[in-house]
């Protein structure tokens, strides 16, 4: 008996792709391609300004991940104008946009300041919602109450940087918060009906591959709508670069081949209802202090993961019920 999925058969997420893909999720919601436009609204971060810590997470260099049009000196509207133009050249079919407050901690200000920035984005033509990246220790009841009211008017997701489910790792990378704080923030956000997202890194120092794989069960129990994953990359100019140079043996960086094998096993254990936005991250090669994977575009990586899933006749969540 063939226990696998036959071509043409739909998975629980309603389409034939072998994972619960973010792009399909938005197509289902809006019937069209939705483009995220990144913003740098000039926030800082409590793990940098001394409130929770100084110097930030050991791997952090925010500039490495900011598109060129994201300059905090420019207004939110100006960044949206330039960002939409930038994407139009590449994806002309997108007519609806999500303003992605990406850089640093985008709820780290008073509610009145947040209102001003978020409303400016929502008033921009074509913007149908907001995605707000932040830290678990940068939300409170007042902010969540405001976000809940916004979520009734538009698509709204709060994305938390969680990075690891293990406190020993969070301490090691100087995150300045515990996993328990992340779980509390997620629960408080989801309880208000706000979409929640989270970001995790694979390959952090001190974590074994088995521990990383076990995170699939932990993450599957969180009240999450979407997730992003990426492999650890050592970025020039970070604390982690010095640590890496001093003690390279503490780091077990994934080669692309290892990561592909690992990620397939991880996906098989991940709850089918969780939408997966990213498998990997790609800092521009000029920022990398450690080995990279060469020039692999995101769409190539997605194609390779899907090809491997098909070769193995497996899919996201295939082992979820068996293992949890």
Residue 161 CB, nearest approach to ligand SF4 (Å): 5
Binding window for ligand SF4 (CB under 6 A); candidates: 42-50, 65-73, 213-221, 288-296: 42-50
Does the footprint of ligand SF4 cover residue 269 (CB under 6 A)? Answer: no
Give the residue nearest to ligand SF4 (CB): 56
State the Cα–Cα distance between residues 5 and 122, nearest whole angstrom.
41
Choose which of 20, 35, 38, 47 interacts with ligand SF4 (CB under 6 A).
47
Choose which of 129, 136, 161, 317 interacts with ligand SF4 (CB under 6 A).
161
* Dihedral sign from CA coordinates of 136, 60, 201, 211: negative
User: In terms of DSSP H, where are the helices of the chain?
Assistant: 22-30, 76-90, 111-122, 141-151, 167-172, 179-190, 209-220, 239-246, 256-269, 298-311, 320-323
Residue 98 CB, nearest approach to ligand SF4 (Å): 20
Choose which of 21, 39, 57, 222 interacts with ligand SF4 (CB under 6 A).
57
CA distances for 293 relative to 61, 240, 249, 257, 302, angstroms: 19, 19, 19, 10, 14
The single residue listed with the structure tokens 């960002």 is: 83
State the Cα–Cα distance between residues 35 and 39, nearest whole angstrom.
13
Does the footprint of ligand SF4 cover residue 272 (CB under 6 A)? Answer: no
Binding window for ligand SF4 (CB under 6 A); candidates: 1-9, 53-61, 85-93, 298-306: 53-61
Does the footprint of ligand SF4 cover residue 170 (CB under 6 A)? Answer: no
State the Cα–Cα distance between residues 255 and 73, nearest whole angstrom.
38
Residue 172: name the closest of 227, 139, 211, 218 by CA.
211
Does the footprint of ligand SF4 cover residue 62 (CB under 6 A)? Answer: yes
Q: What is the DSSP letter of 107?
A: T
Q: 127-134 and 155-163: which strand pairing? A: parallel
Does the footprint of ligand SF4 cover residue 45 (CB under 6 A)? Answer: yes
Those residues with Cβ within 8 angstroms of residue 189's Cβ, 6 or more apart along the chain or in another chain: 139, 144, 147, 158, 160, 196, 223
Choose which of 22, 40, 56, 162 interacts with ligand SF4 (CB under 6 A).
56
Binding window for ligand SF4 (CB under 6 A); candidates: 56-64, 206-214, 229-237, 316-324: 56-64
Give the residue with the Cβ less far from ligand SF4, 26 or 160. 160
State the Cα–Cα distance between residues 137 and 311, nearest whole angstrom.
42
Q: Per-residue contact track with ligand SF4, 69 to 108, x per CB under 6 A?
A: -----------------------------------xx---
Give the residue with the Cβ less far from ligand SF4, 28 or 242. 242
268 CB-side CA count, 13 A: 18
# residues contacting ligand SF4 (CB under 6 A): 11
Residue 131 CB, nearest approach to ligand SF4 (Å): 15
Point out which residues bind ligand SF4 (CB under 6 A). Answer: 45, 47-48, 56-57, 60, 62, 104-105, 135, 161
């Amino acid at each position: 008996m063939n226990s696998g999925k036959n071509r043409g058969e739909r998975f629980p997420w309603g389409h034939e792709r072998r994972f619960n893909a973010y792009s399909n999720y938005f197509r289902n919601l809006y019937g069209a391609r939705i483009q995220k436009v990144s913003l740098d609204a000039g926030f800082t971060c409590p793990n940098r300004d001394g409130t929770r810590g100084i110097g930030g997470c050991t791997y952090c260099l925010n500039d490495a991940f900011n598109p060129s049009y994201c300059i905090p000196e420019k207004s939110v509207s100006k960044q949206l104008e330039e960002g939409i133009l930038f994407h139009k050249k590449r994806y002309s079919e997108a007519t609806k946009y999500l303003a992605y407050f990406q850089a640093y901690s985008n709820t780290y200000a008073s509610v009145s300041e947040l209102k001003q920035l978020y409303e400016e984005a929502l008033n921009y033509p074509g913007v149908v919602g907001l995605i707000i990246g932040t830290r678990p220790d940068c939300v409170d009841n007042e902010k969540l109450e405001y976000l809940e009211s916004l979520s009734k008017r538009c698509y709204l997701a709060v994305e938390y940087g969680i990075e690891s489910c293990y406190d020993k790792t969070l301490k090691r990378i100087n995150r300045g918060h515990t996993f328990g704080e992340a779980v509390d923030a997620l629960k408080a956000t989801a309880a208000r009906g706000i979409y929640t997202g989270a970001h995790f890194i694979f390959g952090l120092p001190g974590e074994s591959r088995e521990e990383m794989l076990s995170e699939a069960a932990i993450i599957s129990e969180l009240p999450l709508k979407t997730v992003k994953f990426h492999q650890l990359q050592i970025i020039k100019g970070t604390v982690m670069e010095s640590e890496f140079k001093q003690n390279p043996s503490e780091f077990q960086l994934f080669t692309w081949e290892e990561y592909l094998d690992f990620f397939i096993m991880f996906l098989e254990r991940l709850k089918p209802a969780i939408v997966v936005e990213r498998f990997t991250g790609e800092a521009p090669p000029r920022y990398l202090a450690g080995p990279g994977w060469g020039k692999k575009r995101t769409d190539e990586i997605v194609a390779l993961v899907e090809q491997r899933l098909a070769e193995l006749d497996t899919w996201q969540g295939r082992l979820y019920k068996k293992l949890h």
